[in-house]
Amino acid sequence: MADARLPSGWTLQQIRDASGDREAVALDPERPVRWVSVDGAVAMPRPELVLGFHGLCLVKPADDEDWYMGSLYDDGSIDCWEAYGDLHEALRGL
């Protein structure tokens, strides 16, 4: 199991301040992630970073600069449905 990491240049407190979620956490990225659209669901590349915000999360795939918002399920899997160009924008979108 990989260690949970934070985005470069960000502290957990900065993430909590920007998101408004005082319980935001960095999560282990070793989990299945899917992109869900009206056309169905497809597996996404392995996450590099995952941030948890209660039932929501933000995912940054290893080979992508975008951040994806999604639902975090009890089994640890994630279904994403929205993409953002940077972390600050994604945090404001929560």
Work out the percent of the chain whose per-residue pLDDT is above 70: 97
Strand-pair partners of 11: none
- The gap from C-alpha 60 to its chain's centroid, in whole angstroms, comes to 6
In sequence order, which residues have a C-beta less than 8 Å from that of residue 32 and are 6 or more positions away?
43, 76, 77, 78
2 pLDDT exceeds 60? Answer: no
Query: Can you give the residue ranges of every domain in the chain?
Result: 12-92
Q: Under DSSP, is residue 33 helix (H, G, I), strand (E, B) or coil? A: strand
Per-residue model confidence as pLDDT tens digits over 17-60: 999 999 999 999 999 999 999 999 999 998 999 999 999 999 99
